[in-house]
Amino acid sequence: MGSKLLLLLTAALWGFAFVAQRQGMELLDPFTYNAIRFALGALFIRFALAKSFIRNATVIRLPGLVLFIAASFQQIGLIYTSAGSAGFITGLYVLFVPVFGFFWGQRAGFRLIISVLLAVFGLYLINSFTSVQVSIGNLLVLISAVFWALHVQLVHRYSKLVPTAVLAFDQFAICALLSTVFAFFYRIFMHPFASFAAVYFIDIGRTVWPILYGGLISVGIAYSLQIKAQKKVEPAPAAVIMSLEGVFAMLGGYLLLKESLSLRSILGASMMLIAMLLVSIPKKDVDKKSPIELTAQI
């Protein structure tokens, strides 16, 4: 149960980071924002967990590469679509995780399937938009959702092979390095005559607080908690719990940005909480209870 609470805390930190993410993207391009926040996350882990940092000769590359692809597609997609559409489509990774798991021999029971469907429908209700239209932005975010699902599966596998600090540092460092390279070429292509003018560095200074939260809290702490928790929690249930990021993003918008809460959003959040409870109840306890008792407990 402790590992599932860590995943819930991870979802909360990611959800409130959505506010910082939106503020950071107002002035910075996607690759610069990701480069700085993941570099900060890597430095934080290297020094905060220095005593447990057991360095092997092999660098764990694949999770960092997938993390870079997922984060990049999501950030770029946010430029061309609404926050509501992006929030719902990103959350679809909760569907893709058990799909990947099927090909890797992971079983999805009836209770897990119900939880996933509840989480997806809850996400739909939380994100206030009338329809998801076909657009380049939504397509990019959908691609990111596929890679987020793959990342959850990779974290599950590698977390059992290497220490948390090593896996966290390697994936953050690789993501930061790739983001830096792409930020360089992005600036040259998009702003050929003022790629790295003074205003570029001024904008970085103006977003220091969103960057600090995104780098230290969202990346450094939350992603590391995810790795530690996924040592014991299977990928599909972990994805259901982490999908509550959408609920905490809604709360963050309400508390920090004074956004309104609709009855529809509250209903969606309730459905996602039920989904989390379903995957959190130990299987042996479920088997001992009747459907009426289980419903009453939820």
Residue 189 has a pLDDT of 86
What integer is the mean pLDDT of 207-234?
90
pTM here is 0.84
Mind spelling out the 3-state secondary structure of the chain? CHHHHHHHHHHHHHHHHHHHHHHHCCCCCHHHHHHHHHHHHHHHHHHHCHHHCCCCCCCCCHHHHHHHHHHHHHHHHHHHCCHHHHHHHHHCHHHHHHHHHHHCCCCCCHHHHHHHHHHHHHHHHHCCCCCCCCCHHHHHHHHHHHHHHHHHHHHHHHCCCCCHHHHHHHHHHHHHHHHHHHHHHHHHHHCCCCCCCHHHHHHHHHCHHHHHHHHHHHHHHHHHHHHHHCCCCCHHHHHHHHCCHHHHHHHHHHHHCCCCCCHHHHHHHHHHHHHHHHHHCCHHHHHHCCHHHHHHHC
| Tally of structural domains, the chain | 1
Instruction: Note down the domain range covering 234.
Output: 2-297
Can you give the pLDDT at residue 107?
A: 81
Q: Look at 283 and 149; give whichever has higher pLDDT.
A: 149
**pLDDT tens string 72-98:** 998 888 778 766 677 778 888 998 999
Q: What is the mean pLDDT of the chain?
A: 82
Q: What average pLDDT score do residues 131-151 get?
A: 82
Read off the pLDDT band of 286 (50, 70, 90).
very low
Residue range 180-197: average pLDDT? 83
Span 118-123, mean pLDDT? 86
Q: Residues 27-50: pLDDT tens digits?
A: 788 899 999 999 999 999 988 877
